[in-house]
Amino acid sequence: MINTTSYSELYLQDAMMNLGEYAEYASLAAPELSLDDIFRMFIISGYAERFEKGDPQVISGLSGTELFIRVAEQCGYKKEKWMEPVCSYDVGETYWCGYILAFYQWKKAKSFSCIINKVPVDYVLNTYPALHTASEEKAYVVIDEAFSKNNRAYIRLQEYRNRLGLSQKQLADASGVNIRTLQQYEIGAKDLSKASLDKAISLSRVLNCNLNDIVD
């Protein structure tokens, strides 16, 4: 089998940890930026392209903290003083999002721009509860399904929720749908079109959308 991955697997772990730290530090140092903004800046700055090609200066020569500061300043986002690097990261949802996106990009061998245009960063972030204890391969399969079928209703469900600024718990509480079930709907592990009609209607009412907006 021909290896179509972006760069040698020898650098993969460094790349994953680096992009995880990038996302985590950025979310702490610039809380006014959304995670989508943080990754769009990564792409616009040109550093994403270098990362995709396995430029050792970027994927292992810089820390995630240094990478974000360079990206931010390249995009004209500057601060008089950046916060100190956080030396001990909890592997929380933001870190995991960067970590798993690096893995997905390496294995898929597509640009970050192509990936994020098809799979919203918020979608990846919201797979954390269901996937952070799973293998990288399992996460790849779930994200790749969303990449291949990016018009699926389960992505729209998440988008409507995010537009209203609702957490998964808030939507679950307001609609009466179990939060674990909602999480499975949002990553496509369960098909909302096969749910009971009252659940689907309840979700659409809370989200202020038509039923067919969230059900294929």
Q: What is the pLDDT of residues 180-201, one digit of tens each?
A: 888 888 877 777 878 888 888 9
Tell the CATH superfamily of the 153-214 domain: lambda repressor-like DNA-binding domains (1.10.260.40)
**Residue 78 confidence (pLDDT) above 70:** yes
Per the rule left: phi > 0, alpha: psi between -120 and 50, beta: everything else, 152 is beta
Q: For tokens 């989508």, name the residue.
A: 36
Q: Rounded to a whole number, what is the largest CA-CA distance in the chain?
A: 54
Q: Which two tokens stand for residue 147?
A: 């990449």
- What digits encode the pLDDT tens for the residues 27-58? 999 999 989 899 999 999 999 999 999 999 99
Residue 31: the pLDDT is 92
- Residue 27's pLDDT is what? 94
Domain boundaries, the chain: 10-113, 153-214
For 113-169, the pLDDT digits (tens) are: 999 888 888 889 988 988 999 999 999 999 998 888 755 666 778 888 888 888 889
Question: Which residues, other chains included, contact 126 with Cβ-Cβ below 8 Å and sequence gap of 6+?
Answer: 158, 168, 183, 186, 187
CA distance 177 to 55: 46
For the chain, first and last CA: distance in Å?
Answer: 36
